Amino acid sequence: MNKQEFSDYIADVYGVTPDYPWESNPTFAVYRHKNNQKWFALVMDIPKEKLGLRGDERI
């Protein structure tokens, strides 16, 4: 599942769209509950090496 498919799924199931709260990281998406604004998902690109994987591309 890619980012767009994930976003579409959340929109269909929960009826919410992503929020992009960080100006310094405009691709980091936060999904919040409608009733209390608490986060239930965070989508961000990070370097593979941060996960102990080989390569320097972002996933």
Average pLDDT, 10 consecutive residues per value, the chain (59 residues): 93 96 95 95 92 89
Q: pTM for this one?
A: 0.79
- Domains: count for the chain: 1
Q: Domain of 35: which CATH number? A: 3.90.1150.30
Residue 59 falls inside a structural domain: no
Among 50, 12, 13, 10, which Cα is nearest to 30's?
10
**Residue 53: predicted pLDDT:** 92
H or E segment and range at residue 11:
helix 3-14
- What is the span of the domain harbouring residue 10? 3-51
Residue 56 falls inside a structural domain: no
